[in-house]
């Protein structure tokens, strides 16, 4: 009897150890890595931080029955995304989501916020710097040489009614080319109704991807990604990518601010044209942390994309574009 009890006790110990090992393995399961190349590090403005619907379900700005003043933030849906209530709330929600979904992000914007994010999650934040008004070329070079900023962007001359090939920007692009720094350039739409809201100099015509050609010809080794994929100018975008091997696109902004059918039409055209290896995942995330999961779902539910194509968009293409080491990321087979 004692021998039988001893065997039973041993069996119980083995079973418990197995269960413990299984539980540990399940706890250690990590989501496949994602790189979001378009996040805004911004202070939460209570006057701007409103709940938002991820895409327009009824009408575009200015088309309501009373011709209400336009706003690029749509609220016409049953379950809008909640805006962060403070800088701390935004950071906490963003870092929790990034940890849970294994997201690394390229972030640009407020320097104070960027430093806080980088301190909170150094392995998940790739700081990016734009060209501030009055910033000299020397100051810009110094900023890119101090080991904090690793990306140039968001560059958005379109909001000033300027072409990205305007010579006033050329020396800055020259610095990025010399240092091997990739550049994100805003092209395409700039927020629905934005010319009537806060950017009267904004010109839709300055979002034509062909306007990049002269600048790219002057800087043939410069790696750029066209933010918002030049939406809605798909033919021009495809032609530019065909002519320039170092041009990629991100899906940010338009991936949530237009109807799903329109989003998928544009993305599918890029893939059909053969550029699946040059599409980067991005959100244009501002103060709505749940927008990460909403935007990820758009790609995950795209039935015209293979699983390999989805992984390219979420991760592999960004690793190649930013010259990263995939072994530095958790959630991939080593």
Ranges in the chain, pLDDT < 70? 1-28, 55-76, 333-334
> How far is residue 61's CA from residue 64's CA, in Å, rounded to a whole number?
7
Contacts of 100 by beta carbon, 8 Å cutoff, 6+ apart: 31
SS3 205: helix
Rounded distance between C-alpha atoms, residue 153 and residue 217, angstroms: 19
Q: How many CB atoms lie within 10 A of CB 306?
A: 12
What is the pLDDT, as a whole number, of residue 145? 92
Name, in order, each residue with C-beta under 8 angstroms of 269's C-beta and a sequence gap of 6 or more. 234, 238
- Supply the pLDDT for residue 2: 44
Per-residue pLDDT at 57? 43
Is the pTM value of this prediction over 0.75?
A: yes
Q: Give how far the C-alpha of residue 265 lies from the chain's centroid of Cα atoms, to the nearest Å.
A: 19
d(CA 229, CA 207): 10
3-30 per-residue burial string, b: 16 or more CB within 10 A, e: under 16: eeeeeeeeeeeeeeeeeeeeeeeeeeee
Give the separation between CA 318 and CA 147, rounded to whole angstroms.
20
**Ordered alpha helix ranges (H), the chain:** 2-27, 87-101, 111-120, 137-144, 170-179, 194-197, 213-218, 234-243, 254-257, 260-272, 291-300, 307-311, 317-321
Q: Are 221 and 177 in contact, with CB atoms under 8 Å apart?
A: yes
- Coil vs helix vs strand at 59: coil
pLDDT of residue 15: 40
Q: Whose CA is closest to 137, among 176, 103, 108, 190?
A: 176
Tell me the C-alpha distance between 187 and 249, whole Å. 10
Do residues 197 and 224 make contact, with C-beta atoms less than 8 angstroms apart? no
Residue 63 confidence (pLDDT): 55
Q: Which residues pair with 108 in a beta bridge?
A: 40, 128
From residue 64, how far is each of 73, 90, 122, 284 by CA, in Å? 14, 32, 45, 26
């Amino acid at each position: 009897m004692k021998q039988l009890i001893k065997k039973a006790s041993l069996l119980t110990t083995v079973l418990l150890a197995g269960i413990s090992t299984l539980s540990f393995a399940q706890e250690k399961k990590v989501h496949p890595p994602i790189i979001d190349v378009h996040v805004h590090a911004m202070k939460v403005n209570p006057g701007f931080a409103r709940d938002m619907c991820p895409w327009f379900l009824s009408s575009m700005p200015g088309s309501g029955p009373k011709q209400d003043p336009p706003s690029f933030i749509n609220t016409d849906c049953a379950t809008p995304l909640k805006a962060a209530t403070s800088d701390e709330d935004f950071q906490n929600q963003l870092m929790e989501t990034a940890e849970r979904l294994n997201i690394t992000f390229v972030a640009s914007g407020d320097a104070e916020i960027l430093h806080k994010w980088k301190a909170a999650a150094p392995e998940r934040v790739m700081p990016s710097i734009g060209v501030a008004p009055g910033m000299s070329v020397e100051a810009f070079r110094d900023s890119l040489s101090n080991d904090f900023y690793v990306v140039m962007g968001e560059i958005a001359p379109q909001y000033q009614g300027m072409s990205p090939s305007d010579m006033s920007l050329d020396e800055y692009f020259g610095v990025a080319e010399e240092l091997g720094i990739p550049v994100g350039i805003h092209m395409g739409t700039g927020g629905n109704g934005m010319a009537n809201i806060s950017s009267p100099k904004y010109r839709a015509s300055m979002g034509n991807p062909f306007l990049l050609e002269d600048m790219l010809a002057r800087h043939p080794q410069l790696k750029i990604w066209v933010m918002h994929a030049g939406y809605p100018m798909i033919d021009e975008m495809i032609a530019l990518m065909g002519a320039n091997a170092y041009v990629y696109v991100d899906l940010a902004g338009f991936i949530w601010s237009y109807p799903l059918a329109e989003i998928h039409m544009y993305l599918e055209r890029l893939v059909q044209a053969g550029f699946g290896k040059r599409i980067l995942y991005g959100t244009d995330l501002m103060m709505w942390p749940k927008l990460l999961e909403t935007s990820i779902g758009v790609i995950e539910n795209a039935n015209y994309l293979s699983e390999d194509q989805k992984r390219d968009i979420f991760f592999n293409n960004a690793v190649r574009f930013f010259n990263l080491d995939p072994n530095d990321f958790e959630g991939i087979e080593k």
